Amino acid sequence: MVYPFLTLEDETEIVHSEMKPDGRVKVYIEKPDEKDCFHHATIFLPGYTVEEVHGFSQDEMARYIQIIQDTAHLIMEFSQTGGFESASGL
């Protein structure tokens, strides 16, 4: 299952998986791009392991990693409770 988490002002979407049995959570970042269709990257929490980066610059990735680090506690919590909508009661 994948849960929506955050949409940034530049249309970048951040979503996350449920917590896996090994305690990891997959965070997927995707941004529309006219030329490439989508830029994307995968980060696994809690270790911040970055995989499959396509189309993002180092500066963009640094920004996204900082956002994920700042909100990782929420992502980890929501990954165990059915995503933001379930946790917030929406």
Domain residues of the chain, as ranges?
2-88
pLDDT bucket at 87, cuts 50 / 70 / 90: low
Q: Which amino acid is at 81?
A: T
Q: What distance in Å separates the CA atoms of residue 53 and residue 61, rounded to the nearest whole number?
A: 9
Q: What are the beta bridge partners of residue 54?
A: 40
Contact status, residue 13 vs residue 31, Cβ threshold 8 Å = yes
* pLDDT at residue 8 is higher than 90: yes
* pLDDT at residue 86 is higher than 80: no
pLDDT (tens digit, 9 = 90+) per residue, 22-74? 999 999 999 999 888 899 999 999 999 999 999 999 999 999 999 999 999 99
pTM given for the model: 0.88
pLDDT bucket at 88, cuts 50 / 70 / 90: low
Contact status, residue 12 vs residue 66, Cβ threshold 8 Å = no
